[in-house]
């Protein structure tokens, strides 16, 4: 389906192009050749190594440079997904910060080989005609609870967005025990007195790779936007707050996630993560664990918590403090969440008594205030309130990020996704529901109606406009106001209609403001 909305900037590329950037493309590690995709004006380069395989002695180390190769390497197959350990085919993780995902989008991006530790590869979609085109760049970081996901997932296929005039980059980062093990031995040997954030180190390595190489694909290293969803959004916020991200990107987009995760809490410290790592490793030394095969390691190293921690290097302090003090990198942001986030996750209270007990345990002196907003006088009401709480707390976090960005002197654009995809039923506009629309990738069975195609075209145009100019607005699109104190509680609503309007009630936002203040004092 052809785009319904055309971007206004002059270098927009259309489906009438005869060819994209020619082969070979010369990188700092060697030359590569790509392949044409469905649109002859877009080329894709798959499975490009951006770092050395993190295996053997490189397991649990900062990513090292990829080896140089001679000749022209064919970049026509996705690299392996990263394994989280413990067997299985990978994919998106299940649980509080992961998901199984909707129906696959587009057969153009297969799942790739079986998961492996040798997984640090990047993929590039480019519509550029030549290396000198200097197009804006989006670097996508997938979600999956830090235990699953891949840059090769079909719903992240970058062709449709590339057709609108940007270079799209996806990549893999280390997961589970391989991406987030902290341990005193690792801290001591690191040279930074830090361990645990290897997945985040991979993200930084990709961004440095982009700075060195994206111009060869017709991209502009001075116009890089990082974007991610769920765990990917947490990594995006971590990089916005990290001194290691300075100068590597100019804008950021985060979808359903920020530095605290999906609920209000302090970040885990290095000491807490090291203690968990010691319990997981038991009597094994790091040298012994590095000598094990992937399979044996999965049997001997269990219970490693996956996620970004305050390691003192990549993340110098709890990022709530970083953002509150305005010490984050000064970048414009586009952030938001979905109306039915909570239907995606299991584990909430299913009875009135359980809901009330959890409210008292979590909110203490604020429990009565919480129960007025989220009543639990009957079991069904408790379940419904739990879903509303999940929706509002995630939305509050994104709004908090918008507020602190504006306070920092930069622009923020807030969105709220309410459209229910065909077949979602009671799950509604659940966590991840916006992904296929934002990427403009219909499901493989194309169950979308005309309204779905229209929404996807509009939403992807807003994203591309922001990536290109820092402003999502464009010709033919309803006006999206930048966040301000005057429009607090409002956002760009992506529903059956697209309009700037009410998001979460101010009384609910005010409650979480009070709760956040208490959490910070603990």
List, as one string, the DSSP characters of 309-370: -B-SSSS-S-HHHHHHTT-S---EEEEEEETBGGGG------SHHHHHHHHHHHHGGGHHHH
Look at residue 123 and tell me if it is in a domain. Answer: yes
DSSP-derived pairing of the beta strands 219-229 and 135-141: parallel
- Flag whether 17 is in a domain: no
- Counting every residue written for the chain, the total comes to 522
Both tokens of 490, joined, read 């409002």
Distances (CA, A) of 453 to 19, 145, 271, 496: 26, 29, 49, 12
pLDDT at 19: 61
Judge whether 8 lies within some domain. no
User: What are the beta bridge partners of residue 443?
Assistant: 105
Cβ pair 438, 429 in contact under 8 A = no
Distance, CA of 431 to chain centre: 12
Please tell me which residue in 237, 431, 434, 460 is annotated as part of the active site. 431
From the candidates 117, 229, 244, 341, which is the catalytic residue? 341
Q: Give the chain's end-to-end CA distance (angstroms, integer).
A: 53
Q: Extract the tokens encoding 14.
A: 């259309």
For residue 500, what is the enclosing H or E element? strand 498-502
Question: What's the total number of domains in the chain?
Answer: 1
Supply the pTM of this predicted model. Answer: 0.93
Q: In this structure, is residue 11 part of a structural domain?
A: no
Q: Which one from 29, 150, 195, 230 is the annotated catalytic residue? A: 230
280 backbone dihedrals φ, ψ, rounded to 5°: -70, -40
Query: Whole-angstrom Cα distance, residue 382 to residue 388?
Result: 10
Residues 452 and 421: beta-carbon distance below 8 Å: yes
pLDDT tens, per residue, the chain with 522 residues: 444 444 444 334 333 344 678 889 999 999 999 998 876 799 999 999 999 999 999 999 999 999 999 999 999 999 999 999 853 323 333 333 333 333 344 534 445 578 999 999 999 999 999 999 999 999 999 999 999 999 999 999 999 999 999 999 999 999 999 999 999 999 999 999 999 999 999 999 999 999 999 999 999 999 999 999 999 999 999 999 999 999 999 999 999 999 999 889 999 999 999 999 999 999 999 999 999 999 999 999 999 999 999 999 999 999 999 999 999 999 999 999 999 999 998 778 899 999 999 999 999 999 999 999 999 999 999 999 999 999 999 999 999 999 999 999 999 999 999 999 999 999 999 999 999 999 999 988 889 999 999 999 999 999 999 999 999 999 999 999 999 999 999 999 999 999 999 999 999 999 999 999 999 998
Considering the chain, what is the average pLDDT of its residues? 91
Reply yes or no: is the peptide bond before residue 24 cis, omega within 30 of 0: yes
Task: Give per-residue pLDDT as tens, 286-320.
Answer: 999 999 999 999 999 999 999 999 999 999 999 99
Residue 12 lies in a domain: no
Residue 444 forms part of a structural domain: yes
Q: Is residue 244 part of a domain?
A: yes
Evaluate whether 72 touches 61 at the Cβ level (below 8 Å): no
CATH number, domain at 495?
3.40.50.1820
In a domain, 514, yes or no: yes
Q: What is the pLDDT of residue 112?
A: 58
177 Cβ partners below 8 Å, 6+ apart?
A: 84, 85, 280, 297, 298, 301, 304, 306
Active site residue 230: yes
Give me the domain span that covers residue 199.
25-521
Active site residue 26: no
Please give the structure tokens belonging to residue 513.
Answer: 């403001």
341: annotated active-site residue: yes
């Amino acid at each position: 389906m052809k785009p319904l909305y055309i971007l206004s900037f002059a270098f927009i590329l259309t489906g009438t192009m005869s060819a994209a950037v020619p082969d070979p493309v010369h990188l700092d590690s060697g030359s590569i050749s790509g392949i044409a995709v469905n649109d002859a004006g877009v080329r894709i380069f798959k499975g490009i190594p951006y770092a050395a395989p993190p295996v053997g002695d490189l397991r649990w180390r900062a990513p090292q440079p990829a080896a140089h190769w001679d000749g022209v390497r064919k970049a026509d197959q996705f690299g392996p997904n990263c394994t989280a350990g413990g067997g299985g085919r990978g994919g998106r993780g299940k649980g509080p910060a992961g998901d199984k995902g909707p129906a696959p989008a587009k057969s153009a991006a297969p799942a790739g080989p079986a998961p492996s530790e040798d997984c640090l590869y990047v993929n590039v979609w480019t519509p550029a005609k030549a290396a000198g085109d200097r197009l804006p760049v989006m670097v996508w970081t997938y979600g999956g609870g830090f235990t699953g996901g891949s840059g090769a997932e079909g719903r992240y296929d970058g062709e449709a967005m590339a057709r609108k005039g940007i270079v799209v980059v996806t990549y893999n980062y280390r997961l589970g025990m391989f991406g987030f093990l902290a341990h005193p031995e690792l801290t001591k040997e690191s040279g930074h007195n830090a361990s645990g954030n290897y997945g985040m180190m991979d993200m930084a390595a990709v961004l440095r790779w982009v700075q060195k190489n994206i111009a060869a694909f017709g991209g502009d290293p001075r116009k890089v936007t990082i974007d991610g969803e769920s765990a990917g959004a947490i990594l995006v916020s971590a990089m916005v707050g990290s001194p290691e991200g300075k100068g590597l990107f100019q804008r950021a987009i985060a979808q359903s996630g920020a530095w605290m995760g999906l609920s209000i809490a302090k970040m885990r410290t290095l000491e807490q993560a090291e203690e968990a790592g010691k319990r997981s490793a038991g009597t094994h030394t790091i040298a012994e664990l590095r000598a094990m095969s992937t399979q044996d390691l999965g049997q001997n190293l269990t219970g490693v918590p996956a996620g970004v921690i305050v390691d003192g290097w990549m993340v110098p302090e709890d990022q709530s403090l970083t953002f509150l003090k305005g010490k984050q990198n000064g970048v414009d942001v586009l952030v938001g969440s979905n109306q039915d986030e909570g239907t995606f996750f299991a584990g909430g209270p299913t009875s009135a008594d359980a809901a009330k007990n959890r409210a008292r345990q979590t909110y203490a002196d604020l429990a009565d205030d919480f129960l007025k907003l989220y009543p639990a006088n009957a079991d069904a009401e408790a379940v419904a309130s739990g879903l509303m709480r999940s929706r509002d707390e995630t939305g509050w976090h994104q709004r908090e990020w918008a507020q602190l960005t504006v306070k920092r002197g930069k622009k923020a654009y807030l969105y709220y996704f309410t459209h229910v995809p065909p077949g979602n039923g009671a799950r509604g506009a659940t966590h991840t529901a916006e992904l296929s629309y934002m990427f403009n990738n219909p499901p493989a069975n194309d169950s979308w109606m005309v309204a779905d195609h229209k929404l996807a075209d509009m939403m992807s145009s807003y994203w591309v406009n922001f990536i290109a100019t820092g402003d999502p607005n464009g010709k033919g699109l309803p006006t999206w106001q930048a966040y301000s104190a005057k429009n607090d509680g409002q956002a760009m609503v992506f529903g059956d209609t697209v309009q700037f309007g009410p998001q979460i009630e101010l009384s609910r936002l005010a409650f979480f403001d009070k709760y956040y203040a208490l959490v910070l004092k603990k």
